[in-house]
Structure 1
Amino acid sequence: MTDVSDIRTVVVTGGASGIGEACAERFAAGGWRVIIGDINTGRGEAVAERLRNAGGDCRFLDVDVADDDAVASFTAAVHADGARVDALVNSGGILQNAVRVTDLDMAEFDRLWAVNVRGTMVVNQAFGRRMVAAGQGSIVNMCSLTSFRASPQVGYAPGKAALKSMTESLAAELGPSGVRVNAVAPGYTLTPAMQARIDSGDRDPKAVIDQTALRRFVEPREVGEVVFFLCSDAASAVSGTTIPIDCGWLAYSGYAAYASQPE
């Protein structure tokens, strides 16, 4: 019988859909034990069952990252059977449509920061303590292109910039204990949430595609591949980085905005 402490385990918050779901799929395919945490119980249970049916070792636990007590209970449940968490993927988060600063609903601003920023910090604290005690671990936070460039998402974008800074601070602080901390910054990714915004008219797909070097959206599975790499032994010397996964949006948008273009 295999001791659960010998199995490589990843915790994926926000793993019930979108990028988090794609990350859970990639780790399961790689033979990891996957624990999905999400506020969407029905969807999370369905994803976990699908991965188990495909031969993966996966279970779902309910968690609201904006609730400190819920995060504490979630962390305790994850470790209840003696499992060591080797990797944490912070994919739990919410989106925002474009809005002018003067029209911003501060309740929405507070909710964005409570989930995306404070929630990520609380989860990092809870699992980071355990990783430090174990002398090993890898954390991946979920940044965005707005970690590098301004956008009219005036609650969401500053929060994602804060997550980049948080990632660097955590990498510096936890590194001496053997814990690596990185982030990914997905570009326009064709998640169900993005598709819903396209369908509602809140996103113009042509405007996105025209500003990417590869002329397409990022696929969730492509983000999952980079996250998996960052948590693998192949990235053992990588810490404190934020990696854009954007089909060349950062490069092309600056290039195309130059005052003159080659003939």
Structure 2
Amino acid sequence: MSGPAPGKASLPASLVLVGAGKMGGALLEGWLADGLPGARVAVIDPSPAPAMAELCAAHGVALNPASPAEPEALVLAIKPQGLEAAAAALAPLVGPETLVVSVLAGKTIADLKTRLPRARAVVRAMPNLPASIRRGATGAAASPETREEQRRTAHALLAGVGLVEWLEGEELIDAVTAVSGSGPAYVFLLAEALAAAGVAAGLPAEVAGRLARQTVAGAGELLGQSPEEAATLRRNVTSPGGTTAAALGVLMAADGLEPLMRDAVAAAKRRAEELAG
């Protein structure tokens, strides 16, 4: 099923977070902000940043406990290349009733089940960089054994850092990677290109950079807060025969931004498929 998980989502009674780097740390901060008691959480990370250690201590989160109990949910947020080395220690923590949520790029549900043999309910998710400020966009897919209440729990965990979209099947994760996973880089490039165009038009580099940065950030915030579609917002700021219309005539030409973006997303999707294979 696509779209948000139905029904009321609830955070788990016990949770182990494996990996407390940028993404894992963002998730933990989101859960704590959403009211998850720190006493329900254990964090496994051999080299936590000082700020993460302080956060755990301040909220009563167990950091690297000697023998954590089998949790209701286990969230994998380590680097994908670290899964093989960590799997032996993690496998005993995962029982047939444990929900496993993975944000490891390129690691399929089958990969995870191979390394965590007792796992049945597995959710593979692809968040993006703005999760670090709780403005992320995440695509998620669940194994067939995942029960509806476990999907709701996974939704609550992932929603701690932003929007969650449920996918019909895991095969769509590569498309999510190409659109929203890599998408922030496309937006940052737009800001770079807009600033460079401003310099070419005669603006000082510092002025062009600040104007471009704030324009992209402000337009993104407006898009996030407005109920209108992106196309409607675009039309709202485009006067017939005006300056914006002149620029859009270039960007919306047959060889303009849309086919270029389509090719870029297709290239990212192909690479995601290669890496997962």
TM-score range (shorter-chain normalised) is 0.3 to 0.5
Larger Rg: 2
Q: Which has the higher contact order (CA 8 A, sep 6+)?
A: 1
After TM superposition, the score normalised by the length of structure 1 is 0.41
After TM superposition, the score normalised by the length of structure 2 is 0.39
